[in-house]
Amino acid sequence: MPLTYQKTYRTSTTLSILVVLCVLIGAYYVYFYRDSAWLATLVGATHVPMARWVVGIVIFAVNYALLGRVPKTLQIVMTFIELFLLLGLFMTTFQLSLPFIRQKIGFLILQGAFTTLYVSAISIVIAFCIALVTAIARLSSNGVAVGIARFYTSFFRGLPLLIQIFILYMGFPQLGFVINPIPAGVAALSLCYGAYMSEIFRAGIQSIPVGQWEASRALGLHKSKIMRLVILPQALKIIIPPTGNHFIAMLKDSSLVSVVGVWELTYVASTVGNRDFRNMEMLITAAAIYWFMSIVLELVQSRIERKFSTATR
């Protein structure tokens, strides 16, 4: 079945196909999760498992064939919507209590999502600075600086973030500093992500042609000024877009700081859920909030990327 682009299709046709698809999804759902008595009367009880597969494959094929009749952009959107609806149907199998979710979602967002966002935002800013310094140290002619940078990246890339959080939270009091959960979490996230991001920064700095260094040196500029005035402004255009990607990843990794008692989204969700024995409600709500935040950030990031790729070179 070739998926070809056909201009002649009207929106009305595609819309009707969309409806058909939704119906098909409904059928899929009924087929899997309601009783299959109608199948049993049709093919006999012994053949029900086989018949399920056949019905499933037929539905999938019809669905795919219909999708083949719409333009590609619509194919993408419809496939996304279909999968999203299927996911929604899957969620209903948990028999979630919607009133409970409605009652708690405000707290989840105001306390949990807010903390998650600001812990991540502070951490990414610190990580950015750490990564910059580390990358410059890695490229320095000073062996001590290179050694420190290497040890740092090796250590923080080599340990699970969860263990880093514990070590920082439990370790600092041993040295005589009592550290609060949020600073501990921010420190762990910044140090871990700074280590990863320093590699991107290093690659970004190294991607600037050597001729830029030579021209600057020939003009009499010193290293630090070359870095600040010539290399970094160009390298940052390469470095900033992937930072957005790391921020999206950090948003979810920040759930790990819940282990030291930071009231971020995951911690709030599981605490509230435990209290009323409604864990699934809260976890799924938290998941939806994470996903929503990620989608928004992805949109922001793609705008940043577009801006940087069209900027005057």
Partner 1 sequence: MQNGTAYAITMGGVNKWYGQHHVLKDIELQVKDKEKIVICGPSGSGKSTLIRCINGLEGHQKGRIVVDGVELSDELASLDRVRGDAGMVFQQFNLFPHMTILDNCTLAPIHVKGMKKAEARDLAMRYMARVKIQDQAHKYPSQLSGGQQQRVAIARALCMQPKIMLFDEPTSALDPEMVKEVLDTMIELAGMGMTMICVTHEMGFARQVADRVIFMDNGAIVESGSPQEIFGAPRTDRLKTFLSQILHNH
- Among 212, 270, 271, 294, indicate the residue that binds partner 1 (CB under 8 A): 212
- Among 72, 150, 217, 303, indicate the residue that binds partner 1 (CB under 8 A): 217
User: Nearer to partner 1 by C-beta: 34 or 222?
Assistant: 222
The size of the interface with partner 1 (CB under 8 A), counted in residues, is 19
Taking the complex as a whole, how short is the minimal distance between the CB of residue 312 and partner 1, in angstroms?
Answer: 5
User: Nearer to partner 1 by C-beta: 157 or 306?
Assistant: 306
- Among 72, 102, 150, 225, indicate the residue that binds partner 1 (CB under 8 A): 225
Chain Cα centroid distance, residue 248: 5
Taking the complex as a whole, how short is the minimal distance between the CB of residue 235 and partner 1, in angstroms?
Answer: 10
Joined together, the tokens standing for residue 25 give 């999804």
- Collect all residues with Cβ–Cβ distance below 8 Å to 29 and sequence separation of at least 6: 86, 89
Could you give the string, one character per residue 228-257, with x where binding to partner 1 holds by CB under 8 A and - elsewhere? -xx--xx--x--------------------
Candidates 94-102, 138-146, 170-178, 214-222; binding stretch for partner 1 (CB under 8 A): 214-222
Task: Tell me the C-alpha distance between 308 and 32, whole Å.
Answer: 47
- Among 142, 218, 277, 310, indicate the residue that binds partner 1 (CB under 8 A): 218
Taking the complex as a whole, how short is the minimal distance between the CB of residue 219 and partner 1, in angstroms?
Answer: 4
Candidates 58-66, 146-154, 211-219, 238-246; binding stretch for partner 1 (CB under 8 A): 211-219
User: Nearer to partner 1 by C-beta: 95 or 310?
Assistant: 310
Taking the complex as a whole, how short is the minimal distance between the CB of residue 265 and partner 1, in angstroms?
Answer: 39
Taking the complex as a whole, how short is the minimal distance between the CB of residue 216 and partner 1, in angstroms?
Answer: 8
Taking the complex as a whole, how short is the minimal distance between the CB of residue 19 and partner 1, in angstroms?
Answer: 50
Length of the chain: 313
Write the secondary structure of the chain as one string of H (helix), E (strand) and C (coil).
CCCCCCCCCCHHHHHHHHHHHHHHHHHHHHHHHCCCHHHHHHHCHHHHHHHHHHHHHHHHHHHHHHHCCCCHHHHHHHHHHHHHHHHHHHHHCCCCCHHHHHHHHHHHHHHHHHHHHHHHHHHHHHHHHHHHHHHHHHCCCCHHHHHHHHHHHHHHHHCCHHHHHHHHHHHHHHCCCCCCHHHHHHHHHHHHHHHHHHHHHHHHHHCCCHHHHHHHHHCCCCHHHHHHHHHHHHHHHHHHHHHHHHHHHHHHHHHHHHHHCCCCHHHHHHHHHHHCCCHHHHHHHHHHHHHHHHHHHHHHHHHHHHHHHHCCC
Binding to partner 1, residues 190-209 (CB under 8 A): 209
User: Nearer to partner 1 by C-beta: 223 or 278?
Assistant: 223
Taking the complex as a whole, how short is the minimal distance between the CB of residue 203 and partner 1, in angstroms?
Answer: 18
Interface with partner 1 by CB under 8 A: which residues? 209, 211-212, 214-215, 217-222, 225, 229-230, 233-234, 237, 312-313
